[in-house]
């Protein structure tokens, strides 16, 4: 008998996070299916970054459960979660400006597969080589020409790609992207959309947080909307776009052109 694998790539169940007296996330439940790009939207302070933080081990959930495939991530440390195949980018990028672009990307590999980096980068006397996975990722993202430069010498768009490269070089099962299009121009955002859409072909499912609604509604298969830490709607982009609660809490506050007045 044929059986269909219905295990989500990522399952977030009843996740609640408190910061002191602030309930930043309240009983949040959603799934990301294999090969799916899921958008997580909502106004400033809605809890989107907190949700990514809790999923990836950077914040401690009060209650709830996060499953990566069949693996319960429990209260694992961020590097263990990354090694299990769940990586992320940061809203503030968090690049290492004293390292080269290539070494910034290599950090994403060092976290999950140290041997792949140390052997190639440091294991051959004084020769210093870029690990093949890093080279491939730089090539994939169009960063090969700036591999030896420092991130602070690059455009904002290129810096965002370096952050993406660091999260993707380990070929994660799921990646959480926190506002990858913030501050990008239209051309840069279109390039980013192509990279994100192509991730599913690499076997990586995506949780995408962004205020650029053209990017989110144009790229995602499913969208979850948060407000004050609660899920107020989820469904197809069309369903969420016309949802009255979402329009009132968020979409109605964005500037025309949908790149958002929020960042």
Interacting residue ranges for Mg ion, rule: CB under 5 A: 48-49, 91
User: Which one among 48, 160, 173, 241 touches ligand ATP, defined by CB under 6 A?
Assistant: 48
Q: What one-character DSSP code corresponds to residue 153?
A: G
Query: Phi and psi for 192 in degrees, rounded to 5?
Result: -65, -40
Rounded distance, CA 45 to CA 253, Å? 14
Is residue 104 part of the contact set for ligand ATP (CB under 6 A)?
A: no
Report the DSSP beta bridge partners of residue 16: 63
Q: Residue 23 is inside which H or E element, if any?
A: strand 22-32
* Nearer CB in complex with ligand ATP: 72/92: 92
Q: Which is nearer to ligand ATP, 106 or 176 (CB)?
A: 176
* Min CB(109)–Mg ion separation in Å: 26
Q: How far apart are CA 234 and CA 227, in angstroms?
A: 12
16 binds, among Mg ion, ligand ATP, none (CB under 5 to 8 A by kind): none
The CB-of-120 to ligand ATP minimum distance in angstroms stands at 36
222 binds, among ligand ATP, Mg ion, none (CB under 5 to 8 A by kind): none
How far apart are the C-alpha atoms of 103 and 261, rounded to whole Å?
Answer: 34
Q: Which stretch binds ligand ATP (CB under 6 A): 37-45, 69-77, 143-151, 212-220?
A: 37-45
Considering beta carbons, is residue 173 or 211 the nearer one to ligand ATP? 211
For residue 93, the tally of other CB atoms under 10 A from its CB is 20
Q: Which of residues 232-251 bind ligand ATP (CB under 6 A)?
A: none
Length of the chain: 263
Using CB under 6 A as the binding rule, the residues of this chain from 49 to 88 that contact ligand ATP are 49-50
Shortest distance in whole angstroms from residue 248 CB to ligand ATP: 17
Rg of the chain in Å (alpha carbons): 18
Locus of tokens 């809203």: 91
22 binds, among ligand ATP, Mg ion, none (CB under 5 to 8 A by kind): ligand ATP
Tell me if residue 9 falls in helix, strand or coil: coil
Whole-number Å distance between alpha carbons of 255 and 161: 26
Binding residue (CB under 6 A) for ligand ATP from 7, 14, 22, 75:
22
The encoded tokens of residue 211 equal: 């205020």
By C-beta, is 46 or 110 nearer to ligand ATP?
Answer: 46
Least Å distance, CB 116 to ligand ATP, is 32
């Amino acid at each position: 008998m044929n059986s269909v694998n219905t295990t989500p790539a990522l399952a977030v169940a009843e996740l609640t996070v408190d910061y002191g007296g602030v309930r930043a996330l309240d009983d949040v439940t959603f799934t990301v299916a294999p090969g799916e790009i899921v958008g997580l939207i909502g106004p400033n302070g809605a809890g989107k970054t907190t949700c990514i933080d809790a999923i990836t081990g950077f914040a401690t959930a009060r209650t709830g459960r996060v499953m990566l495939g069949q693996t319960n991530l429990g209260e694992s440390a961020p590097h263990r979660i990354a090694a299990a195949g769940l990586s992320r980018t940061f809203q503030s990028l968090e690049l290492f400006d004293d390292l080269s672009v290539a070494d910034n990307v290599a950090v994403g590999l060092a976290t999950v597969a140290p041997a792949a980096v140390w052997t190639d980068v440091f294991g051959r006397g004084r020769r210093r080589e870029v690990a093949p996975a890093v080279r491939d990722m730089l090539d994939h993202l169009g960063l090969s020409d700036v591999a030896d430069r420092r991130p602070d010498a690059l455009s904002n768009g290129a810096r965002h790609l370096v952050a993406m490269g660091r999260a993707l070089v380990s070929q994660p099962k799921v990646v959480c992207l926190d506002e990858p299009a913030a501050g990008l121009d239209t051309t840069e955002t279109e390039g980013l959309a192509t990279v994100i859409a192509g991730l599913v072909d690499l076997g990586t499912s995506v949780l995408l947080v962004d205020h650029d609604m053209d990017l989110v509604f144009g790229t995602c298969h499913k969208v979850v909307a948060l407000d004050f830490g609660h899920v107020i709607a989820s469904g197809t982009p069309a369903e969420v776009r016309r949802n009255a609660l979402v329009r009132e809490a968020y979409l109605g506050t964005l500037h025309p052109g949908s790149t958002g007045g929020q960042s």
